[in-house]
Structure 1
Amino acid sequence: MLQSLKAWIITICTAVFFITAVEMILPNNSLKKYAKFVLGLILITVFINPIIKLFDKNFDINTYTNNAAQCIESNNGKFNDDFNKYKEKSINSTLEAFKLNLQDSCEKKLKEKYPDSSYKVQVDASYDKEKEKVEIKDINVGIKEGTVEKIKKVKIATNSKVVNNQDSVNDEKSLNITTYLSNELNVSKDIIKVHKL
């Protein structure tokens, strides 16, 4: 009994010495109050540990902390899966919002710069996980001049080829639009395609 009491007092003195040394090293900022709280919990644990052993001879704080750590690690895999699903969903929704906002922004800018036509912009973008940024792959700009839309080709026979109705535009206006959007969005001219609607 006397040996246990001696070991307990030595443990308390060591803990108090350690806590005092840590408090002296800590800078005077908002972190200090949290550190004092944690150090206080350590001191309480040191005080309570022998008292609990009086009532429960098999009590060992290390066993309880190991069990708690194993429980956290076993749930960590599920947490990581849930976190990754949430992250993927968040990236996808952010990417869709980015595409829609960029399309609207391009249409407004083109209408302000070239008010004689109407524009329909489609943006294709992806998220690069390594660089952790959104990259624009394609910007398709449809130009509608006048009030009448071009008639779309209809497929009648089952063995006929499907023809793409997007006639690319290679005139001066197309080049101006490509240059304008390239400068405004800071992207390569190669990813901007202009066609008639």
Structure 2
Amino acid sequence: MIEALKVWVINITIAIFFITAVEMILPDNNMKKYAKFVLGLMLIVVIINPIIKIFNKDFNFYSYTNKATSYMESSTAVTDIKKYKDINMLNTTENFKKNLEKQCIIDLEQSYPENKYNADIDIIYDDKKAVFNINKIEIGIVDKGVRNIRKIEINAKSVNASKRDILKGEQGDKIKRLLSSKFKISANIVTVYKLNL
């Protein structure tokens, strides 16, 4: 038991000397914090390795690291990483879209409180530039007062109730200008319409 304790203390001392030497030769840049993180993990492994062996005699840290390394080098790891990255980007895009729509409605209701608004924004993520691009903004205006009766078209095959009347006057233009200046986009991609509910 004393011999095992002696080996453990020697391993910790060697690890600390090694970590100190590596930190001294590292340049002061962004890479240093990542190197310190990895070196800290190495020190934790050296410290807890004998403690784990007390509870599990068959524990071999090197076999676990070899399994992890082989998994990271395999093609399944690359596929899994790409799958998780795609799912994460899809969720991020959806959350960004919802937040942008909420912010758009808040801005419109603060600037023009006489109406209620609905927003539908089409965005896409540009991988090369790592930015979100707004392709289209559609703003629906709902009057707070008396609502218009919906226009109903009756054909022999089906009944169609139009829910949108595009605004082309001053009201639509001022909303386009507000959103264009707020989001630094062209007013041409903003569509404003009366929403008949």
Name the counterpart of 1:131: 129
Aligned-residue identity in percent: 27
Give the TM-score normalised by structure 2. Answer: 0.61
Distance change >3 Å, CA 88–CA 155, structure 1 → 2: farther
Name the counterpart of 1:26: 25
Distance change >3 Å, CA 140–CA 74, structure 1 → 2: closer
8 Å CA contact 2:105–2:119 kept in 1: the answer is yes
Any runs of at least 4 consecutive aligned residues in structure 1 with deviations exceeding 6 A, and if so which?
Answer: none
Q: Residue 79 of structure 1: which of 73, 77, 83 is its match?
A: 77
CA distance in 2, matches of 1:171, 1:106: 20
**Residue aligned with 1:167, SS:** strand
Give the TM-score normalised by structure 1. Answer: 0.61
1:104 Cα shift? 0.6
Any stretches of 5+ residues in structure 2 without a counterpart?
1-17, 44-65
CA distance in 1, matches of 2:173, 2:164: 17
CA distance in 1, matches of 2:135, 2:170: 24
Question: Aligned runs of 1:182-197 on 2, under 5 Å?
Answer: 182-197=180-195
CA distance in 2, matches of 1:155, 1:123: 28
Name the counterpart of 2:173: 175
CA distance in 2, matches of 1:74, 1:85: 15
CA distance in 1, matches of 2:107, 2:169: 20
Letter in 2 for 1:172: E
Q: Does 1:109 align with 2:107?
A: yes
**Residue aligned with 1:148, SS:** coil
Name the counterpart of 2:143: 145
**Structure 1 or 2: larger strand share?**
2
Tell which structure's C-alpha radius of gyration is larger. 1
**Residue aligned with 1:121, SS:** strand
Alpha-carbon RMSD = 3.6
Q: Matched residue pairs, number?
A: 149
CA distance in 1, matches of 2:165, 2:143: 13
1:161 Cα shift? 8.6
Letter in 1 for 2:74: N
**Residue aligned with 2:92, SS:** helix
CA distance in 2, matches of 1:78, 1:150: 58
